[in-house]
């Protein structure tokens, strides 16, 4: 047994290597929830294959008393339950760390590694001797390692028991079998290993006022609170669970309590093009409608997105980004649709995009997206990614203002339509902000107009006259300038007076904040601007102007955020340095720290 690393309380990374389809997700979730219930900040990242069963899957739990939410890039304790990935898994453990494996079967001695303490626990043997049903044995083997870990890192077993009783309240027999498996692992670890390890947990009070929630569920809840009643989608990883959650919420909250009548409509379309067509049609009719999808779906939607932009019809699209191009890796994360969504469709189009950094913002930005879509009469994207959408995050409790009322924008009432002195001028800019007044079908015949994606004049009538056509598309640019003042503003961290800046967006936020802390300890002070929306407003331009060098951090190969900055601002490109991570794993702070220090060394050397 190797010498273990010094004592580290509430500051380590636990990784669990399993086979997909063996029921490990429930056990791993139980672990993270138990740590959260102990009052200790925790984050879980699920790396799973795109098949249903048989391929490797990993679950990474970071315990951080400081509340860091990104991957650390290190593993301190590995539970290696998959023989096929054992060699890779043992290499990931940093020196002084620990590895647990199922010693029911002998381990290849060539896989031993200097500096890593190995604990063999005969999990399969223990479960085979205790449970008669084969499937139960497989499932309980995972629960047994939860028990072993409870002993090794000092997880409160009473909390685990309480979680199990909550989970299986309607099936008490399952509570008993799970508790039996917990005890098997716990007792074995206590009898054979030094417990607790130097890597261990102590109760804190850092999770009060927080919840664990994933971004897709939070976004679905935001749609409900925003007043959405129509959803259309075609199933695609990783966005399907967003519509699943919306359906679940609607079944509870969108049903008449007396008659049981459903006050919502959810349609599984034949493809993504049909889905966005349904959404645009429902919004045109006056409903609040949305579709969740991912990059391949956005590609198919392009024709209708251009129609929504030019015909000026509200719609909301949730893009839960995954790796590309083509099918890519459907269950790995990236921020690779920034350009795709910003300019979706042929011709001159620009779309409003919101960039949530965590599930909490997915909830609030869902509501903002519906309001902006109606106020601006245009498609609006909410762009999360797999990391945000499908992982459980520790977030502040969601708050709601009961006084909220949906902002429908410039919609003429029946009385206003009847008071019109002449025919409706659907695309006439009365207020000088580029946003025209619209009508909803069926309100009054005088408000009727032909909605078209072909050339139209400000009256709404078909035209091929170059002057009339250009008048409409130029007004859309005026509306774009108005949008800059309406979208969520960026968030500045730092004094605002440093020479060096970091600019990023979305799920990079946690890694950037941790990197900034590490760089500060080295004497390097940064201002950090997190962009929350496109188009960029004056705050972004001011940040770029006021810093000598700006590091642009993002998760794609081609520096798409940096490209948007070059296209949409007056920045000197020489100021910008790109830091990118695009392997499909969520970004960690190391690539940011390394990228910054490497660049600054080159500057000094020059």
Residues 389 and 498 in one domain: no
Amino acid 5: pLDDT: 59
| Beta pairing, strands 56-64 & 11-19 | antiparallel
Q: Is residue 484 part of a domain?
A: no
Measuring CA to CA, how many Å separate 325 from each of 51, 71, 302, 558, 586? Answer: 19, 24, 16, 12, 18
In the predicted model, what is the mean pLDDT of residues 282-303? 98
The pairs formed by 175-181 with CB atoms below 8 angstroms and a separation of 24 or more are: 177/131, 177/136, 177/140, 178/140, 178/143, 180/130, 180/131, 180/140, 181/127, 181/130, 181/131, 181/140, 181/141, 181/143, 181/144, 181/146, 181/147
With a pLDDT cut of 90, the percent of the chain lying above it is: 92
Residues 229 and 198 in one domain: no
Residues 355 and 369 in one domain: yes
Measuring CA to CA, how many Å separate 83 from each of 106, 108, 301, 443, 496? Answer: 11, 10, 42, 66, 51
Amino acid 39: pLDDT: 98
Q: Write the CATH number for 28.
A: 3.40.920.10
pLDDT band (50, 70, 90) for residue 2: very low
Residues 545 and 597 in one domain: yes
Q: Is residue 194 part of a domain?
A: yes
In the predicted model, what is the mean pLDDT of residues 147-173? 95
The continuous run of DSSP H or E covering 222 comes out as: helix 215-226
pLDDT in tens, 28-86: 999 999 999 999 999 999 998 887 778 899 999 999 999 999 999 999 999 999 999 99
Q: Is residue 481 part of a domain?
A: no
pLDDT exceeds 80 at position 546: yes
Residues 93 and 202 in one domain: yes
Amino acid 542: pLDDT: 98
For residue 384, what are its two tokens? 């999360």
Q: Is residue 502 part of a domain?
A: yes
Q: Is residue 403 part of a domain?
A: no
pLDDT exceeds 80 at position 1: no
Cβ-Cβ contacts under 8 Å for 440 (sequence gap 6 or more): 285, 286, 411, 447
Side-chain-side CA neighbours of residue 109 (13 Å): 0
pLDDT in tens, 451-468: 999 999 999 999 999 999
Residues 306 and 230 in one domain: yes
For residue 198, what are its two tokens? 């130097």
Residues 273 and 384 in one domain: yes
Residues 175 and 287 in one domain: no
Q: Point out the domain boundary residue: 164, 181, 208.
A: 208
Measuring CA to CA, how many Å separate 598 from each of 505, 556, 565, 595, 603? Answer: 22, 20, 23, 5, 9
Q: How many domains does the chain have?
A: 4
Q: Are 383 and 342 in contact (CB under 8 A)?
A: no
| pTM of the complete model | 0.96
pLDDT exceeds 90 at position 3: no
Amino acid 605: pLDDT: 74
Residues 311 and 374 in one domain: yes
Q: Provide the residue range defining the domain that includes 515.
A: 491-605
- Tell which wins on pLDDT, 170 or 75: 75
Q: Is residue 322 part of a domain?
A: yes
pLDDT in tens, 205-225: 999 999 999 999 999 999 999
Residues 158 and 29 in one domain: yes
Q: Are 493 and 545 in contact (CB under 8 A)?
A: no
pLDDT in tens, 114-127: 999 999 999 999 99
Least confident of 51-65, 293-307, 517-531, 586-600: 51-65
Q: Write the CATH number for 248.
A: 3.40.50.970
For residue 594, what are its two tokens? 């390394």
pLDDT exceeds 90 at position 4: no
pLDDT band (50, 70, 90) for residue 524: very high
With a pLDDT cut of 70, the percent of the chain lying above it is: 99
In the predicted model, what is the mean pLDDT of residues 316-336? 96
pLDDT in tens, 372-419: 999 999 999 999 999 999 999 999 999 999 999 999 999 999 999 999
Cα of 239 vs its chain's centroid, Å: 10
Q: Point out the domain boundary residue: 368, 396, 424.
A: 396
In the predicted model, what is the mean pLDDT of residues 249-254? 96
Residues 155 and 138 in one domain: yes
Helix (H, G, I), strand (E, B) or coil at 392: strand
Amino acid 606: pLDDT: 64
Burial class (CB in 10 A: 0-12, 13-18, 19+), 522: exposed
Q: Point out the domain boundary residue: 369, 396, 423.
A: 396
Q: Write the CATH number for 559.
A: 3.40.50.920
Q: Is residue 404 part of a domain?
A: no
Residues 283 and 137 in one domain: no
Q: Is residue 260 part of a domain?
A: yes
Instruction: Residue 4: count other Cβ atoms within 10 Å of its Cβ.
Output: 16
In the predicted model, what is the mean pLDDT of residues 470-480? 98
């Amino acid at each position: 047994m190797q010498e273990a690393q010094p004592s580290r309380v509430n500051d380590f990374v636990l990784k669990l290597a399993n086979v997909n389809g063996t029921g490990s997700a429930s056990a791993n979730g139980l672990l993270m929830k138990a740590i959260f219930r102990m009052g200790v900040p925790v984050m879980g990242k699920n790396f799973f294959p795109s098949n249903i069963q048989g391929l490797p899957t990993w679950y990474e739990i970071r315990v951080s008393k400081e509340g860091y939410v990104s991957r650390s890039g290190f593993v301190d304790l590995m539970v290696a339950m998959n023989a096929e990935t054992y060699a890779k898994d043992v290499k990931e453990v940093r020196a002084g760390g620990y590895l647990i494996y199922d010693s029911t079967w002998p381990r290849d001695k060539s896989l031993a590694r200097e500096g890593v303490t190995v604990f063999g626990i005969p999990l399969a043997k223990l479960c085979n001797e205790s449970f008669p049903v084969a499937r139960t044995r497989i499932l309980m083997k995972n629960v047994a390692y939860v028990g072993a870990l409870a002993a090794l890192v000092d997880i409160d077993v009473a909390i685990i028991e309480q979680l199990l009783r909550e989970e299986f309240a309607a099936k008490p027999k399952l509570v008993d079998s799970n508790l039996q498996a917990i005890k098997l692992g716990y007792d074995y670890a206590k009898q054979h290993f030094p417990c607790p390890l130097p890597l261990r947990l102590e109760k804190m009070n850092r999770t009060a006022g927080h919840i664990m929630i994933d971004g897709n569920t939070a976004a679905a809840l935001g749609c409900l609170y925003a007043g959405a009643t129509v959803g259309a989608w075609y199933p695609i990883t990783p966005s399907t669970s967003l519509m699943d959650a919306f359906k679940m919420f609607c079944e509870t909250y969108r049903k008449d309590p007396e008659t049981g009548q459903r006050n919502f409509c959810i349609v599984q379309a034949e493809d993504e093009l049909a889905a966005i067509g349904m959404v645009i049609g429902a919004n045109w009719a006056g409903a609040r409608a949305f579709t969740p999808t991912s990059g391949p779906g956005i590609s198919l939607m392009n024709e209708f997105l251009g129609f929504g932009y030019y015909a000026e019809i509200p719609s909301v699209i949730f893009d839960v980004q995954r790796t590309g191009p083509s099918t890519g890796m459907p269950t790995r994360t990236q921020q690779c649709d920034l350009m795709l969504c910003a300019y979706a469709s042929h011709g001159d189009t620009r779309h409003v995009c919101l960039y949530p950094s965590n599930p909490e913002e997915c909830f609030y930005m869902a509501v903002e997206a519906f309001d902006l879509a109606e106020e601006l009469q245009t498609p609006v994207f909410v762009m999360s990614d797999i990391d945000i959408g499908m992982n459980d995050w520790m977030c502040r409790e969601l708050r709601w203002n009961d006084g909220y009322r949906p902002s429908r924008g410039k919609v003429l009432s029946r009385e206003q339509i009847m008071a019109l002195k002449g025919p409706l001028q659907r695309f006439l800019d009365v207020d000088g902000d580029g946003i025209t007044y619209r009508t909803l079908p069926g309100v009054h015949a005088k408000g009727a107009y032909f909605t078209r994606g072909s050339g139209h004049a400000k009256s709404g009538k078909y035209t091929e006259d170059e002057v009339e056509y250009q008048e409409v598309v130029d007004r859309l640019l005026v509306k774009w300038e108005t949008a800059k003042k309406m979208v969520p503003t960026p968030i500045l961290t730092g004094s605002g007076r440093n020479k060096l800046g970091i600019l990023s967006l979305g799920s990079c936020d946690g890694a950037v904040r941790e990197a900034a802390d590490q760089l500060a300890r080295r004497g390097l002070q940064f201002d950090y601007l997190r962009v929350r929306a496109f188009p960029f407003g004056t705050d972004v331009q001011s940040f770029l102007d006021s810093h000598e060098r700006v590091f642009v951090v993002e998760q794609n190969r081609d520096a798409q955020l940096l490209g948007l900055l070059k296209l949409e601002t007056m920045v000197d490109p020489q100021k910008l340095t790109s830091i990118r991570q695009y392997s499909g794993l969520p970004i960690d702070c190391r690539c940011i720290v390394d990228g910054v220090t490497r660049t600054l060394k080159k500057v000094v050397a020059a």
